[in-house]
Amino acid sequence: MEASVFGSSQARIGIRELGFCGVNRNLGFGRSNNQVWFGWRRRSRVRVAAMAVRSEGLAVGKEGIRVRRRRSEEEGVRLFVGLPLDAALDRNSAYHSRAIAAGLRALKLLGLEGVEMPVWWGLVEKEAMGKYDWSGYLTLAKMVQDAGLKIHVSLCFHASSDRPKIPLPQWVSQIGQAQPDIFFADRSGERHTNCLSLAVDDLPVLNGKTPLLVYEEFLESFKSAFSSFLSSTITDISVGLGPDGELRYPSFPSKRTNRVSGVGEFQCYDKHSLDNLRLHAQLTGNPNWGLGGPHDAPTYYEMPNSNAFFKESGGSWETPYGNFFLSWYSDQLMSHGERVLSLASRVYDEYDIALCGKVPLAHEWYRMRSHPSEMTAGFYNTDSRDGYDAVAQMFAKNSCAMTLPGMNLSDKNLPQDSLSSPELLLAQIKNACKRHGVPVYGENSLSATGPIGGLDETKKHLSGDDAVLDSFLYQRMGEEFFSPEHFPSFVQMFRSINQPKLHFDNVPVLDRDEADVAGGLMR
């Protein structure tokens, strides 16, 4: 079957900003007229799946939980690729739009399910509470729809920690300057201003409204603005639950690296968190335990055994006080997750949409009995206590899938002296999800090491006997993604997972003299 997807071979879109050239067996890269382009080599016929995999509907699972139906083995994993974080920021640039459109066409040609679209609170409700500007995202959603792709929306109630810098709404930051206790604080009093403290969820700290009410109005406004896309083009919505969108405390203030790091710090020193801790201590008959967090815990970059709290033998974490504090600290996080997920589930209940939330992979020091990095992040998980069972229960209760990052990480590529094990931690969380019938979505980590950023490890989670994923989000479109060092390997990985089972009659043979794949994105 012959098909022309993009029309004339003259329709390449050049991308000035991408600094690469070269030739791959199946892909062509080069320069012409002072522009860089990439595309399939001319005069070659390559079989690709040009149709998107159909999405699933919703079904009623055990205990009445509405869950998204499992895809059959023949259908494979739904694969999304993240759009640039600022994809909707420069919406007036015709060049920017052409570059994104070219990238979308390349992904469509490969047969991917769709793209992830990050939607930032700080861009939509930037100037004033209740004043929403969805225009950039509506334009972007229409582009994706026209490309024949699906959208996984990520609603981001945090500020970006990486470039490009996307802050919280201006009016929220202004409130924070006058009321700094709306933000998390560590033992030294340092504030984490990239997201609101979970302790203020139900407090009228935002011009007389609670954060939960502001989130609800945001969700309702999104539903109204994108009603024509919901259940059709928009098939999945991820709800931001904390720093970087994850259900956790900001126990690490800076971006993680692959070097050995410390255990992080407990984040319970804003006024409202301390008030909650003090009340909890009084109710349990131990008022002195409510004066603050553990005094013998390490600071951010100290090793676990540098202080008494996390020591393997005789550490304070195993004392009655340790159990009191860690239970309270974890319960506060779980309660926040419950509030936000239940809110989203209620707002979007009428739509055939899969809701999900992201749980971090705090894998450093996992081989220690106390699992200190997980504890500071809010997960009371030890060698004798499964801290993720309650998390999975909470996701199941709200009919939400759980997104797990780091699926391109492997134990062998991480420093051995950090006692890290992303593989064991992933297995534990996936087992908890399996027990409670929670669908698992996967995501790669941008800090991965190994061959082509961990594509080999990613493939293990997407195929094979132990593959349990319903969906996978690959981060992220941009210069590196479309580079000749990376993109051909990504194509090879995707085809090896989803396309070998396709019947020949369902796979168009495209003549590259008739159609070139153009792509690339602005830096």
Q: List, by residue number, the catalytic residues.
A: 246, 443
Quick one: DSSP state of residue 15? B
On whether the CB atoms of residues 113 and 140 are closer than 8 A, the answer is no
SS3 137: helix
C-alpha 177/C-alpha 79 separation (Å) is 41
| Angle between the N-to-C axes of helices 487-498 and 94-110, in degrees from 0 to 180, rounded to the nearest 10 | 40
Phi-psi region of 449 (alpha: psi -120 to 50; beta: other; left: phi over 0): beta
Structure tokens at 296: 């013998």
C-alpha 511/C-alpha 394 separation (Å) is 50
- Residue 44 makes CB contacts below 8 A (sequence gap 6+) with 26, 512
Structure tokens at 408: 């391109």
Cα 231 versus chain centre, distance:
21
C-alpha 169/C-alpha 166 separation (Å) is 9
C-alpha 95/C-alpha 432 separation (Å) is 46
Closest alpha carbon to 402 in 412, 414, 393: 393
On whether the CB atoms of residues 357 and 364 are closer than 8 A, the answer is no
- Residue 239 makes CB contacts below 8 A (sequence gap 6+) with 155, 340, 341, 344, 355, 356, 357, 400
